[in-house]
């Protein structure tokens, strides 16, 4: 389960940002998870709830925004937002597409309480 190593890195990033901003507590962690990121949201949530207990995030709520897959067809020019994991253009059924969004996991926002 690579979600554990992802959560470890996420919590380390939160701790670093909290130190840089003289915060004592992180109360909310907001992330964007693309459907093609390779991250399973339910496993990520479980890992976060487990590993946060020994960190500055111990009371933090994890807010996950799942980013649909966005592709642009190089054949017909259509840009499509897809819920499923496919790179086939729904307009022309072409497979010469470019992924525009939905492959990343990003820390979007933190809510912190100052010291």
**Residue 89 assigned ligand-binding role:** yes
Q: What total number of domains does the chain contain?
A: 1
Instruction: Write out pLDDT tens, residues 40-79.
Output: 999 999 999 999 999 999 999 999 999 999 999 999 999 9
Domain hosting residue 17, numbered range? 3-114
Q: Which token pair is 62?
A: 């994890």
Taking CA 62 as the corner, what is the angle to CA 57 and CA 65, rounded to the nearest 5 degrees? 145
Average pLDDT of the segment spanning 9-34? 96
| pLDDT value of position 2 | 82
Check which CATH number belongs to the domain holding 11 and give it: 3.30.2320.80
Taking the model in full, what pTM does it have?
A: 0.84
Segment holding 96, helix H or strand E: none
Is 76 flagged in the annotation as binding? yes
Q: Is residue 92 part of an annotated ligand binding site?
A: yes
CA angle centred on 1, ends 10 and 34, rounded to 5° = 55
**Is residue 14 annotated as involved in ligand binding?**
no
Element (H, E) at 44: helix 41-51
């Amino acid at each position: 389960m690579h979600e554990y190593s992802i959560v470890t890195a996420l919590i380390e990033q939160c701790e670093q940002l909290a130190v840089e901003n003289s915060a004592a507590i992180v109360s909310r962690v907001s992330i964007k998870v693309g459907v093609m990121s390779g991250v399973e949201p339910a496993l990520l949530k479980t890992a976060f709830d487990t590993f946060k207990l020994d960190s500055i995030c111990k009371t933090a709520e994890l807010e996950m925004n799942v980013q649909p897959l966005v592709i642009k067809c190089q054949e017909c020019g259509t840009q499509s937002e897809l819920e499923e994991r496919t790179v086939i253009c729904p307009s022309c059924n072409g497979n010469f597409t470019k992924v525009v969004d939905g492959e990343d996991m990003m820390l979007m926002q933190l809510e912190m309480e100052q010291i």
